[in-house]
A and B are shown apart, each in its own frame.
Chain A
């Protein structure tokens, strides 16, 4: 059986987990076995709907102390559930919580683990999973040598698959270990679309000259319904918040569309974004290295091009 850990934030299931579920269901199909989901905490979503992304059954441990991550507690519980339910493969999203617990769960299950996976397993010769390495500059095929396997799948690398199912829901009986950390404060950041979950991303670099010029970029993002990102020097200079920094030493993203404005395309920047499906580069220097990694390019002054692009998008929207 393939068991998928369903992550939540603010009692809402994360999209990354629905993708992990679709991925887990695809592995179960390869193996001809069942897909089951594991949900902790008091989640507000309708759990039967997890069937729509491939779960046949949902195991729930409803306890509000589990709404925020305590690695020692959560990893113990996931491992205990996997043993109780006889899971052969445990799947996580490689998101903030998934990366925190999946390796600990693997240790507790004597399982080999691949984190940052980006392909279905190849079972022709053992059990091989492809993962991104060198921060997006390459891929590695990793063979898992153990009977039980743990996989944490990269966000936006598999996609959601729709199933025509309603999952059955069962309570799972597990003893919750004592808390190992105490949460004393939560600070929410504004901004509606989390970068790692965004399908569309508009990103700005030093070419925008200063934080006061970000309006044109924000207008474009708004017209598209896109999340915003930036290059490292931009976040280092505090023109934009740190959580927008993408690249080898920031976050790595793989949206459907990445629009880079006034970013030169340094190798460290490209490493974080080169898995984007489509890349648009707007830069006034025709020699900017980013054009080599782009699908579409506009050679021109961002202050002129970006408002035009925003207007064109508004126009296309109005025509629809």
Chain B
């Protein structure tokens, strides 16, 4: 069994988001970087759990990013990947990123490709679906359970009215969300081992960007809270009806 886990670097969830250079660039000063939580907590940890059941499993990690992504790749390796591939491109265009990962995926002939549900920075939720088109493979989105039995995967996914269990033959692409696995913390042995695990850097394949970011914006600040006396709930209802007009 060969599993490819897609890993992205994102700002820490507590990061204050601000922009510089005329709102065209994220202000990175003071930002702590983490592995995108959906990639780490759900996709990677589930891959590790599958390897624990079947030690012959190989886990490869792939990241599209500059050299600045290497600390988070090492952290992911400390949690448990076998080796990592960094595709040396700093593109923010989902299509370009998916093309890079598809090239690695084709070469590696993986049985299972796991992504997080989305990244918490650009929230595009594109990569799994795009890989499905680029590699002509089935894709199950928003999965919260995944079991493997020989070459068949059983996956539970979220649907509008609840949960659906599906079966698909491998190779398969799955995007992972809460429920898939429990967050883990790397241990000392993992951290030591990660230092010597292979981290291969490959050049990007040619791919024209289909989109570009022209500017960022922050949401308008709230004008200030109106406090209502806890004894005056009729007043709150009146405000919601007549001022806010939401009920």
Residues of chain A having any CB pair with chain B under 8 Å:
9-10, 14, 68-72, 75, 95-97, 99-108, 110-116, 128, 130-146, 180-189, 194, 199-200, 224, 242-243, 245, 248-250, 252, 256-257, 267-268, 271, 274-275, 277-281, 291-301, 304-305, 308-309, 311-313, 315-316
Contact = CB atoms under 8 A, between A and B. Distances in A.
A187 B128 CA distance: 24
B216 A138 contact: yes
A172 B23 CA distance: 45
A107 B160 contact: no
Contacts of B124: 103, 115-116
B161 interface: yes
A292 B222 contact: yes
B129 A140 contact: no
Contacts of A248: 13, 120
Contacts of B168: 180-182
Chain B contact surface mostly = mixed
Interface residues of B, number: 80
Contacts of B159: 9, 68-69, 96, 186
A183 B178 contact: no
A148 to B, nearest CB: 10
B201 interface: no
B129 A104 contact: yes
Contacts of B114: none
Given A113-B211, A249-B120, A295 B126 contact: no
A127 B72 CA distance: 35
A135 B117 CA distance: 13
Nearest to A236: B178
Contacts of B125: 99, 103, 115-116
Interface in B217-247: 217-219, 222, 225-231, 233-234, 236-241, 244, 246-247
Closest 9 CB pairs of A and B: A112-B210, A300-B230, A180-B138, A103-B129, A107-B133, A9-B160, A100-B141, A312-B233, A103-B126
B126 A188 contact: no
B216 A299 contact: no
Given A96-B141, A296-B239, A297-B225, A134 B160 contact: no
21 contacts: A72-B139, A100-B139, A103-B129, A111-B210, A112-B210, A115-B123, A131-B123, A132-B123, A140-B213, A140-B217, A141-B217, A142-B213, A144-B211, A181-B138, A184-B154, A186-B163, A188-B162, A189-B161, A242-B179, A295-B225, A298-B227
B38 to A, nearest CB: 8
B95 A107 contact: yes
